[in-house]
Structures are given as C-alpha cells and as structure tokens.
C-alpha cells in the first residue's frame, strides 16, 4: 500500500495517526511518498512524481482526499460509488 502526499509532513494529522503511519512504514506494510504528486491513474497503474523521479505502482484501488467540499453529487452522477463512514472501521 502506498500513500502519496504533497507536503513534506503530515502537519494536520492527529498524533495517534502519525504514529500508526510511522509504525506501518517501519514494518514495511506502507510505502509513504512525501512531497509527491499523482500524475496519472489508469485501470492498472498509478504514476507518481516523487522528487526528480516517477514511480509506477500497481493500481488495485485509489482513495483521493483532496480537501474542501466533497463533490458527492457529481461523483454519483458519473457512476462513482461514494460511501461515507463516521467513526467506523
């Protein structure tokens, strides 16, 4: 699993979540690409620009967290399933 994050640090993340990310990364369960940008998403690959290189990873699923107001009506209108969970695992 890979997280691509545009900034250099998770400055707004809760401490307990930062600890979980750090632990997963240290255990090799999570690849964290800081200061990176997603360049392309296809059915089978995701291309991420990380520094001066591009990383291509297999695409099983993509979760986009872009901030702001969710465009839920638009996403549903083009056939994307949106599931909202409040405090559930």
Please give the pLDDT value at position 14. Answer: 84
Please give the pLDDT value at position 56. Answer: 95
Question: How is residue 25 written in tokens?
Answer: 């990364």
Please give the pLDDT value at position 27. Answer: 94
Please give the pLDDT value at position 87. Answer: 63
Number of independent structural domains in the chain: 1
87 assigned to some structural domain: no
Question: How is residue 29 written in tokens?
Answer: 């369960």
85 assigned to some structural domain: no
17 assigned to some structural domain: yes
83 assigned to some structural domain: no
We report the CATH number of the domain holding residue 39 as: 3.50.50.60
- Domain, as residue range, for 32: 2-77
53 assigned to some structural domain: yes
Mean pLDDT, the chain cut into blocks of 10 residues (89 residues total): 88 84 92 92 93 91 76 83 70
The pTM assigned to this predicted structure is: 0.67
Selection from 33, 54, 35, 36 nearest residue 45 by Cα = 54
Selection from 25, 23, 19 nearest residue 1 by Cα = 25
Please give the pLDDT value at position 89. Answer: 57
């Amino acid at each position: 699993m890979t997280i691509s994050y545009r900034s250099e640090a998770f400055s707004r993340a809760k401490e307990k979540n930062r600890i979980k990310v750090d632990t997963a990364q240290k255990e090799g369960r999570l690849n964290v690409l800081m200061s990176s940008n997603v360049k392309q998403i296809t059915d089978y690959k995701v291309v991420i620009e990380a520094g001066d290189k591009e990383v291509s990873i297999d695409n099983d699923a993509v979760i986009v967290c872009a901030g702001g107001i969710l465009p839920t009506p638009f996403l549903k209108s083009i056939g994307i399933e949106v599931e909202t969970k409040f405090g559930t695992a």
